[in-house]
Amino acid sequence: MTDSVSTPGVRLLGTPANELRIAAVGTSEVIRVARGSSAPGPDTAHAVQSKIDMHHHFCAPQWREWAVHHDLIKEEQLPPWTRLDGAAAVRFMDDAGITTAVLKPMLPARYRSSAQLREAVNITLQSMIEVAQSHPGRFSYYVPLFLDDPEASFWAVRRGLGQLGAVGVNVTANYGGVYLGDPAYDRLFHELDEFSAVVDTHPHNLPGCPPGASTVPGIPNFVCDFLLDTTRAAVNMISRRTLDRFPNLSVVLPHAGGFLPYIASRLQALGRFCDPPVEPAAVRDHLSRFYYDTAGPMAPAATLLEHVPADRILFGTDWPAAPADTVMDLALPALEADPAFTPQQLQGIYHDNAMRLIPQLATA
């Protein structure tokens, strides 16, 4: 492994290039869950069972140890919730009626070479495989991609999707200010299209965010900026007709699409001022073809359902970035009580829509 090839970084908490880079935000140390049966019992708190959590963060303990050893991170720089007790993952899933979680991997560091990045991805993949094998049926996983390193990303796609059974890829909304949909990613997206890949997205800090600081003092960036980051990526993909050019891709937008459902009419009216211009029909078409997860808590669903079929909505918790009490006391009750959803639609959101999107989950 050489360290001579520099790999530019996506900023963690807006840090400059000599700080941390990130592939996917959030996570948990779920690998240390107790061995043995971990299926939900009949006394699970929530009556609706067999939920599939499509937004469940993961930071591999093996990666953390490796990254510390190579002076890529200092453990105290990671959010405190990355060090939660591992058994909390399965306990949380059981309490929430979640039978399967799809892991969104986090491996934030500025890697010194493509070879070092590949090693980090491989360690993370092997860790997620161990989790899945230790708890049959409970976990599947995405392969993390760093789109600003195309060759490492090509390798990760072929390794994770082609060889190791990942059910999709996880990407961030932008890399160094270059958003999803940009032609710079077309070659890799063609490869993903060949795999008919699920492309799970996640926001982070906006480009140019001050290092280690909120863009608005006192307001964490995940409150507002993350939603804008997702919205920018979605609008750029609409503008570039990403789903038309790569028709076999399934793109998942987190947090109910950020602000996208709320600016849909504005985008239809004003998209002609974009470069290239965005036709209203393209806005409507892409809105109905993206997938959206409920991680949040998300806003009431009426606005989303004005533009999106209910079968494009997927259940997601954002645990443990979203604490268990946020999910259990706020997000889940709000979702279950949302008058915009019928019981049949909720069943689809909790389970059936994910199964149609990723049939491999049936044999996780």
**Ranges under pLDDT 50 in the chain:** 1-48, 85
| pLDDT value for 280 | 96
Enter the DSSP assignment of 340: T
Burial class of residue 47 in the structure, from the number of CB atoms within 10 Å of its CB (0-12 exposed, 13-18 middle, 19+ buried): exposed
* CA-derived radius of gyration, the chain: 19
Helices H / strands E in the chain, number of each: 14, 11
| pLDDT value at residue 315 | 98
Amino acid at 207: P
Q: Tokens in use for 222?
A: 């995940």
Strand positions, DSSP E, 80-122: 98-105
130: burial class by Cβ within 10 Å (0-12, 13-18, 19+)? middle
- N residues, the chain: 364
Q: Which two tokens stand for residue 303?
A: 């606005």
Residue (of 264, 95, 106) closest to 170 by Cα position: 106
Q: 3-class SS at 144?
A: strand
Render the burial of 330-360: b for 16+ CB within 10 Å, e for the rest.
ebbebbeebeebeeebbebbbbbbbeebbee
> What's CA 45's distance to the chain center, in Å?
26
pTM of the predicted structure, to 2 decimals: 0.85
User: Among residues 101, 93, 103, 102, which one has the least CA distance to residue 40?
Assistant: 93
Q: Are 3 and 113 in contact (CB under 8 A)?
A: yes
Give pLDDT, residue 212. 72
What gap in Å lies between CA 198 and CA 5, rounded to an integer? 30
Count CB neighbours of 241 within 10 A.
Answer: 16
Tokens in use for 155?
């390798």
Strand order in the sheet with 98-105: 51-58, 98-105, 139-141
